Chain A
Amino acid sequence: MAWRNLWRQPMRTALSLLTMALAAALLVFMLSFQLGVYDTMKSNALRIFDGFARLQPPGYADDPDIRRTITDPEALAAKAEQMKGVTAAAPRATSYVILSNGERSYGAAIVGVSPARERQVSTLASTVHEGRYLKPGDTDVVVLGDALARNLKLKLGDKVTLLGSALDGTIAVDSLRLVGLFHTGIGDLDRQVAEMPLRRFQQGFAMGNTANTIALVGPSLGAVNDALPRLDRLAKANKLTIEDWGGLQPGLKQAITLDFSTSMLWYVSLVVVVVFIILNTLLMSVLERTREFGMLMAIGMRASLVGRMLWLELILLALIGTVAGVVLGGGLALWYGHAGIAVGAFEGLMAQWGLPGRLYPSLSATSALVGPAVIVVSVAVAGLIPMRRIRRLDPVKAMRAA
């Protein structure tokens, strides 16, 4: 009967369904788009250099001191790679040094990397636009961010002098030949980072067979996040800690959190508007049918049952509308997930976050179901208002209603 009641006023029901379907579709598509962009932002930003997670000594995040080390990092990296959700691990040693070319000097972070392993965790090698990236067997070579090289007035083949503090407190000095320039589009990396072979770094900085961190990646950021408990156990067993993506890119995490919070306001407003529209429709329906409700109660239908019937009508309406919305919004998200959405004039802005010129919505269970579920639950809760009203209805007065 609830189903038939829905279609007493076909136009009104159709409009209500359309409202809910469009709202649900908008929520599904926007959430898919937003989460897709976040995934791209996180993935791109993290894959350029940081990796999806990092094994490091305790306190290293706050004080990245060269003396905080990991012993036998290659063996530990191999162990990490065996874990589900981790596909590659790369040990790194890092120090802050002065790089000089003649009379020009700049402070920079020099990172010692294993070239073969590094290529698996970082896309930095693919951003080398002049010369080449490090390769296994390299010794006294270095790659620099192109902004840093420009500041030092270096060109390929030039020698760059490195001056820093070694692990044992002595001065670390080295002369390295510039073999490649990278351009990530991320200012901090391009202006301040240099990479050299890990073995040479360990020798120059008296590190022995140690490193400072091990960068980790997996098939996806989610997979590595899922592996965090296991990685945490591995870290603890080696007196280390595990840093997740938020710790590696706190700025990005904050930006995403802020953006998502702002969006939530819009989403909540949308849901509230939809709920009020539906509730208004329902209340109109209740007013129109008051006499009938009185009659139903007179012939022996309990008021609670009459209320539940009305509530069921509302739930049916909400379910049909939101399912249609999920299909519509999900379909759009899937389509644009393949085709992408060109950002056009915002391409430069997007590049700052490591985003490409086309953005891709990512349809997931979360993006497809959370918005519509919130609509259904909100409508169901709001529907308790007319339901309560019916429960208090006096059958005699109701039947006198015009």
Chain B
Amino acid sequence: MQPDTSDAHAIVTCRGVSKIYAHGAVEVRAVDGLDLDVAAGDFAALSGPSGSGKTTLLNMIGGLDRPTSGTVTVDGEDLSGLSAAHLAELRLHKIGFVFQAYNLIPVLSALENIEFVLQLLGIDAKERHDRAAAALADVGLTGMEERRPSHLSGGQQQRVAVARALVARPAIVLADEPTANLDSKSADDLVSLMAELNARSGTTFLIGTHDARVIARARRHIEMIDGKITSDTTGDLADVVQ
């Protein structure tokens, strides 16, 4: 089962988005007048060579960075006018992040790492615990609740990161090179897990990646070169879920 995105509304809309960095007198266009829509339920891979602007685009969609020009809208909210505090709120409520380097909080256990997001949302302890435990079970880590990140493998840590990204039921999960630090099997497992979660819960995924395995399994493949989208193709996810 996979979400039908043909009539889905756009969770992310980018219009004329540019990001220009100044390196001394030289201007670098990391993202160059880009238009993009990501529909609810999409499972999209964003690929391109290093320096193509993938991470910059993900950061702008995630409200971590601001475009030099153009507008980014997430779940109907235009990010351009939001303060840093409002952007943090938006990330907390609507966006889940999965990073290349796992980025779990080392002093918290796997379960506490997931609970932490819910704590920021002000959810009471009982519900927090139940939802975090369920999220951990969803990523296949039941029994590892009390383990600190240092006692988990890379693949397990990234699964916890996925659970943390999903536990607040965000509108979209942005993953930046989530498989880059994983061995082949762990990477395969992680992609399968994300695809399964997308199929099961309809959560939108936008995954910045170099990894051909991720691209091959994504339903939609957006390719960027020099800050521009050079191709945007939609395929079938059936093989991914299987």
Contact = CB atoms under 8 A, between A and B. Distances in A.
15 contacts: A1-B108, A4-B108, A8-B106, A8-B107, A296-B105, A298-B91, A299-B97, A299-B120, A299-B165, A300-B91, A301-B88, A303-B85, A303-B88, A396-B64, A396-B65
B84 interface: yes
Contacts of A298: 62, 64, 91, 97, 99, 103
A297 interface: yes
Given A1-B107, A291-B103, A302-B89, 20 more contacts: A1-B108, A4-B108, A7-B107, A292-B103, A292-B105, A295-B103, A295-B105, A298-B62, A298-B103, A299-B91, A299-B116, A299-B117, A300-B93, A300-B95, A301-B92, A302-B88, A303-B84, A396-B65, A399-B99, A399-B103
A296 B105 CA distance: 8
Interface of B: 59, 62, 64-65, 84-85, 88-89, 91-93, 95-97, 99, 103, 105-108, 116-117, 120, 164-165, 168
Contacts of B89: 300, 302
A300 B169 CA distance: 13
B93 to A, nearest CB: 7
A7 to B, nearest CB: 8
Contacts of A5: 107
A395 interface: yes
Contacts of A305: 120
A175 interface: no
Nearest to B117: A299
A214 B99 CA distance: 83
B107 A299 contact: no
Contacts of B65: 396
B117 A300 contact: yes
Interface residues of A, number: 21
A4 B92 contact: no
Given A8-B106, A298-B64, A396 B117 contact: no
Among all A-B residue pairs, the 5 with the closest Cβ atoms: A300-B92, A4-B107, A295-B103, A300-B91, A302-B88
A272 B108 CA distance: 34
A332 B11 CA distance: 67
Of A5, A7, A304, A395, most B-chain CB atoms within 10 Å:
A395
Of B62, B96, B105, B117, most A-chain CB atoms within 10 Å:
B105
Contacts of A302: 85, 88-89
B226 to A, nearest CB: 20
Contacts of B103: 291-292, 295, 298, 399
Nearest to A306: B88
Contacts of B165: 299
Contacts of B120: 299-301, 305
Of A295, A299, A304, most B-chain CB atoms within 10 Å:
A299
A267 B99 CA distance: 49
A276 B64 CA distance: 33
Contacts of B91: 298-300
A298 B104 CA distance: 12
A295 B99 contact: yes
Interface string A1-31: 1001101100000000000000000000000
B85 A304 contact: yes
A302 B116 CA distance: 13
A333 B89 CA distance: 52
Interface string A281-303: 00000000001100111111111
B142 to A, nearest CB: 23
A299 B170 CA distance: 11
A376 to B, nearest CB: 24
A305 B89 CA distance: 12
Nearest to B60: A396
Contacts of B84: 303
A207 B107 CA distance: 85
Contacts of B105: 1, 292, 295-296
Contacts of A296: 105
A296 B113 CA distance: 11
Interface in A123-160: none
B5 to A, nearest CB: 26
B20 to A, nearest CB: 15
A304 B84 CA distance: 10
Contacts of A7: 107
A399 B91 CA distance: 16
Nearest to B56: A396
A303 B120 CA distance: 12
Contact of A395 (B64, B108, B168): B64
